[in-house]
Amino acid sequence: MTTEHLFSIFIHMDLTENITVGAVFSPGEMRPAWFLWRGRRYAVSEVTYAWESREGMARLRHFSVVAGANVYAICYNTHECAWEIRGVEQDWRG
C-alpha cells in the first residue's frame, strides 16, 4: 500500500476561547511557552510570527505558534490581561 496521500489541505478553524498560557518574559519580549486548551496542555515548540492589533482600547498581541503537528493562533489582550485561542491550522491528508 502506498504511503503517498491523495491530497493534503489545511483546515482552518476560527475560534474565540479563553485559554491559560505560560509565557516567558524578557526585556521587550513575551514568548508563550505552553498553553492549556480544552483540558490538554500544548508545549509551544516555535513562535513563528507575532503581530499587534487593536479592538477598541484593547491592544492585542497575536502569536502564531507551533505545537505538535499544528499551528495555533493565540493572542494576549493587554486590556483584560487574558489569553485567547483564535484559530487552529490542521494539516488534513486524504
Partner 1 sequence: MARIILHADMNAFFASVEQVSNPKLRGKPIVVTGSGHRTIITTASYEARAFGVKTGMTVPEAKKLCPGLMQVIGDNRKYTSACNRIMEIFGRYTPLVEVFSIDEAFMDVTGSCLLFGGGAEIARRIKGDIKREVGLTCSVGVASNKLLAKLASDMQKPDGLTVIEPERISEVMESLPVGELCGIGPSLTKSLSAMGITTCGELGRASASALKTRFGIIGGRLKLMGMGVDESEVSPIGSEEPAKSVGHSMTLGRDTGDKDELAVYVLQLSEMVGRRMRRNNYMGDTVTLTLRYSDFRTFSQSMRFKRPVNDGLDIYLMAMKLFTPFRLAMKVRLAGVSVSGLVSDPMQISLWEDDRKKSSLTAAMDSINDRYGEFTVTWGSLLARHRHKGVIAPAWRPTGVKSVEY
Kindly list the residues in this chain that would bind partner 1 in the complex (CB under 8 A). 9-10, 12, 46, 48-49, 51-58, 62, 64, 66, 71, 89, 91
- Residue 85 beta carbon to partner 1: minimum distance, rounded to whole angstroms: 15
Q: How far is the CB of 50 from partner 1 (least distance, A)?
A: 9
**Which C-beta is closer to partner 1: that of 39 or that of 94?**
94
Instruction: Considering the complex, state which of residue 9 and residue 36 has its C-beta at the smaller distance from partner 1.
Output: 9
Q: Minimum Å distance from CB 54 to partner 1?
A: 7
Instruction: Supply the minimum distance, in Å, between the C-beta of residue 15 and partner 1.
Output: 14
Taking the CB of residue 64, how many other CB atoms lie within 10 A of it? Answer: 17
* Closer of 10 and 24 to partner 1 (Cβ): 10
Instruction: Give the Cα-Cα-Cα angle 65, 38, 54 (nearest 5 degrees).
Output: 50
* Residue owning grid cell 483540558: 39
C-alpha distance from residue 44 to each of 7, 39, 57, 64, 81 (Å):
27, 16, 29, 10, 20
* Amino acid making up residue 67: A
CA 50 – CA 30 distance, rounded (Å): 10
